[in-house]
Structure 1
Amino acid sequence: MTFYGFARSVVYTIFKPWYRIQAIGVENIPKEGGVLLCANHISVLDPIVVGIMCPRPVHYMAKDELFQVPVLGGIVRKCNAFPVKRGFNDREALRTGLKLLKDGHVFGLFPEGTRSKTGELGKGLSGAGFFALRTEAQVVPCAVIGPYKSLNKLKMVYGKPIDMTEMRQTKASAEQVTELIMSEIDKLIKEHK
């Protein structure tokens, strides 16, 4: 068993009953091929919950500062994360994300770029659209519906893959694609709240 698999099973055993996590739409995650999982961002725990409820290993970008912390940096890396320098265009992180998708992995992304202070869905950044347009990956919208309180029900909803055919054919902008992805996440939140 990999470190990721071990860590996932341990965290799943703790988190699932503690937060009473209900996973909805897991069958919407393609069993193979590149998948771009795009979720809203309400807590620092979101990457963990999106990852442990997904049947396939999920890779993430994580802020570069985490990798500088002794011990934690190594753990984060072993949990399929790779560093991104926030605040400017990190070409290396973009290349890594594209390669993961092209190689058939699941890449988890929070298009808002940062946690929502209000819990409401914010505006998405163009990065999600960039990855969706530059690869043939399936784009799966996700909604984390909280709050993160012990013994309260937390929902992790995976929507159906978004049909990107028209967007790719008409050469839509990254911003337009991100708007589409955010609207699908918004629908999931409204439907399952």
Structure 2
Amino acid sequence: MGWVGWVGLVAVLVLVVFVIQAGRRANQADWGGPFLNWLDGINRILCRRFHRLEADPVPLPEHGSALVVANHVSGLDPLLMVAACRRPLRFVIAAEEYRRPGLRRLFDAIGCIPVERSRHPHLALRAARRALERGEVVALFPQGRIDVDEDPERPLKGGMAWLSASTGAPVQPLRVTGVRGRGQTLLAVFRRSRARITAAEPRTCQSADSQECLEGIRVAILGRPRSG
């Protein structure tokens, strides 16, 4: 190997060490293992440097259960939410996303809960409730799918209210704005944004059909109430 090759090899090694150390330093949540914690740090760097994320402090409890809910405009949203929070988030995700080739192992490692939207959605809700009962933080999108229009007249899924009422877990609403790749999934991660996460006051739903609770969450994540 000539001197050019050695210089290139040393440069690659230095870059690898730099990336490893940068991910470790940026890590802010304990995901239960060094590799996942490193990924947490890399994701925070990606969101804050590339997507220029500005986020309100998210007032999650240091210990115990909580529900994090947000509007859903792109596939970038979960990464932004993770970067804004200091605790690991267990996402309830659509089964077709969970089965994406090459990603299922990662989704399993970070505790994602797949939901079959067309059949047996109650199984995912039960799994989410068990996670809350163990004191974990569960994240979901009550619009049910990516919704670029964010029509306030469209009903939110009531599962979050049932989870809060049945476990006593507070609901922490977040509003995601400034995403360039609205309506896109994977491509949104690679389109530079000027992202913003706004955190509303947490609330606890007293019943699964609490319209007051659902409307408060709707306003917090969509930015406006229903016209009626």
Give the TM-score taking structure 1 as reference length: 0.83
Question: How far apart, in 1, do the equivalents of 2:221 and 2:61 lie?
Answer: 18
- Say yes or no: does 1:147 pair with 2:188: no
Between the two proteins, what is the percent identity of the paired residues? 25
| Greater relative contact order, per chain length (Cα 8 Å cut-off, separation 6+) | 1
Question: How far apart, in 2, do the equivalents of 1:107 and 1:19 lie?
Answer: 24
Query: What is the match of residue 16 of structure 1?
Result: 48
Runs of 5+ consecutive residues of structure 2 not aligned to the other structure: 1-32, 182-190
Query: CA deviation digits over 1:39-61, x for unaligned, max 9?
Result: 11111111111012210000011
Distance 1:5 1:173, change over 3 A: same
Q: CA deviation at 1:117?
A: 2.7
- Say yes or no: does 1:89 pair with 2:89: no
Question: How far apart, in 2, do the equivalents of 1:65 and 1:34 lie?
Answer: 27
Q: Contact 2:159 / 2:208 at 8 angstroms: preserved in 1?
A: no
- Say yes or no: does 1:32 pair with 2:63: yes
Question: How far apart, in 2, do the equivalents of 1:87 and 1:25 lie?
Answer: 35
Q: Contact 2:66 / 2:170 at 8 angstroms: preserved in 1?
A: yes
What's the C-alpha RMSD, in Å, of the aligned pairs?
2.2
- Say yes or no: does 1:180 pair with 2:212: no
Distance 1:141 1:67, change over 3 A: closer
- Say yes or no: does 1:103 pair with 2:139: no
Q: Contact 2:172 / 2:201 at 8 angstroms: preserved in 1?
A: yes
Q: CA deviation at 1:183?
A: 2.2
Q: Which has the higher strand share?
A: 1
Distance 1:20 1:102, change over 3 A: same
Question: How far apart, in 1, do the equivalents of 2:221 and 2:72 lie?
Answer: 11
Distance 1:6 1:66, change over 3 A: same
Q: Count how many residue pairs are aligned between Structure 1 and Structure 2.
A: 182
